[in-house]
Chains A and B, each alone.
Chain A
Amino acid sequence: MVPITTFHYLVVAAALFVLGVIGMLTRRNVVIMLMSIELILNAVNLNLVAFSRMWGRLDGQVFAIFIVVDAAAEAAVGLGILIAFFRNKETTNVDEIDLLKW
């Protein structure tokens, strides 16, 4: 059996990150896009905690708490924007937001 090193955590975090990115980039639904952004943030969190464990310092974990707070605020704002958007367009298709084009 292979011991679980920090590397494995990083891989998982990277996978989560990539999934989040792809989700953000390709999903049509705004809600799903926001969920993907949360996924990215959580992947970063995981990264930070893994490195905290590796070095044996608490800085990473403290920073992770910050990011959680930040993610929460951002989600609130993002949902606010989503509701404003829905009121205007009656749809959750992100492709419909294209007014600021050339």
Chain B
Amino acid sequence: MLHGLKLLLPALIPSWRFFDTIAPSPRIEYALLHDPHAVAVWQEFRPRPARLSFGQMLLRMVWNPRWNESLYLVSCAERLMANPTAHSEREIIERIKAEYADASAPWLQFRLVFVSRQGEGTRKDITFTSPVYRREAV
């Protein structure tokens, strides 16, 4: 309860500094492994669609669970870099496991790639690679 109250405080005296700087932005990449020592083939977790119709955008005004969960995972990735906790790591790996519940690979791994501006283009930096998790143990 005390921890909850501590987390409530920033809501009572908010800073409202939305987008003051555009910081490097995290992407979560995952690998499904058949062997814990296999070389990981990384794929972006929940890549955004190529395009969305206006109707789909309107529907998302009232029903947007997947996207909001993805934004939560962005927060977890940022927290993992700023102030690493087992909580953020667990939240990410549990959602990867749930997303690929039907996959046959018994091992999972993820990494964080931060995208930032470089000149007129972008650059990617791998900032975190998780341990290999046994699916059953997650």
Is this pair of chains taken from one and the same complex?
no
Please report B residues at the A interface, Cβ cutoff 8 Å: none
